Amino acid sequence: MTDFLNQPIGAAPGQPGDRTAFSFETITRLPGSPDGKGRGGTRYGRTGIIHTPHGDIRTPAFVPVATQAAMKAVLPETMRQLGAQCLLSNAFHLFERPGEDVLDAAGGLGRFMNWSGPTFTDSGGFQVLSLGSGFKKTLAMDVTGMKSDDVIAEGKERLAFVDEDGVTFKSPLNGDRHRFSAEISMGIQHKIGADIMFAFDELTTLMNTRGYQEQSVERTYRWAQRCVAEHERLTAERLGKPYQALYGVVQGANYEDLRRHAAEQIASLDFDGVGIGGALEKRIIGDICAWICDAMPENRPRHVLGIASVDDIFACVENGGDTFDCVAPARCGRNGAIFTRHGRYNVKRAEFKTDFGPLEDGCECYTCRNYSKAYVDHLLRAREFNGFTLATIHNEYFFIKLLDDIRASIDGGYFEEFRDESLAHFYGA
């Protein structure tokens, strides 16, 4: 077995990282259909392989979120045993602590947390929204009749301010003032050392006006140009390091013309892949993916940021999503919400106090093979860390396996049947 942690592909002493160590190959494409959302009925769903310096990612794939170089309450070795192919960490949080210089000195993100597989970092752009407007993780919102360019969540303080050059923000940890820009984000992410990074972008809310969305798309494009230039400079300068792929991020909220325009802008730049990001509504999530894929080169992998709803995943896969990340499986698990093939339930309900069956019948995860609903309920109520561990293991396994099964259905030619059956079971149709 190749030791990618100590011998990443394409890293040579005194040489810049070899870009050919990162690539994408398509294995199976979904056939077009009369109701396909892409041009001419195209459906962009596919299976493939993302080749990285630290190994391959077979797609479609779920990317568990290890925000601070850690899955909360779960060891990296356990994540590997669950079938996770890769992990994503947050550049903003790692900048706050322990600091990018610490990770650089450790030999990069993977070595720091003893994860031998591929890694992602997001750019910190999400904090433009969450610190700027006080919202947490909810991007798909019902905003009927609500429009404002100065929206603040109730009871929150604006902690981030956007200008042409970047973002000034107040640390939620200690109140210190910091500055992020395209160049600063690239510098931080290069030192963190993930295989896949994202360009610094501005993430708006659905409550921003059309005029502000237009300004934001153009600003994100200008930042993207600066990210590409700084990425090229740092790649040439940081000798002996494996190549880090850079994905551009397409914004534009719910507007088709803005999404298509932004996609063309990002496609015109020398990115290795694309992130499908921004505020959006469930009803058109598949359409948005298709609009973007219409403009994207086939050989660039596509990552859908922050998605972990079962119906959204199917819609995005069918319309071109290759990889997906979200904090929801772990966060929900810590609060007792359990995902199963037959829907989601809360294990802390009174009826499960004496239920000695597994969290999900037929599930092969470590938790379901060894522990009961009653035990997990007890641990979570007692706020024992083992409860967080067991619930997170099950939920992460659910989404990892869901994407594995979707991948098998595309390769096997039965995607539609698997999609319809899975959604009917999950949502009780």
d(Cα 195, Cα 192) in Å, to the nearest integer?
10
- Write the CB contacts of 46 (distance below 8 Å, at least 6 apart in sequence): 26, 27, 28, 29, 30, 59, 320, 322, 410
d(Cα 229, Cα 225) in Å, to the nearest integer?
6
Does the active-site annotation cover 35? no
| Structure-token pair, residue 371 | 């522990």
Does the active-site annotation cover 18? no
180, amino acid identity: F
Marked catalytic residue, from 104, 322, 325, 377: 325
φ/ψ (deg, to 5) at 61? -145, 145
d(Cα 160, Cα 190) in Å, to the nearest integer?
23
Question: Can you list the positions of beta strands (E) in 200-264?
Answer: 245-250
Rg (CA), the chain: 21
Start-to-end C-alpha separation, the chain: 45
Annotated binding-site positions for substrate: 122-126, 201, 251, 278
d(Cα 207, Cα 210) in Å, to the nearest integer?
9
Annotated binding-site positions for Zn(2+): 363, 365, 368, 394
Marked catalytic residue, from 122, 294, 312, 322: 122
CA-nearest of 273, 329, 316 to 137 is 329
> Quick one: angle between helices 310-318 and 385-412, nearest 10?
30
For the chain, how are helix, strand and coil distributed in percent, rounded to 5? Answer: 40, 15, 40
d(Cα 68, Cα 102) in Å, to the nearest integer?
13
Residues taking part in catalysis: 122, 325
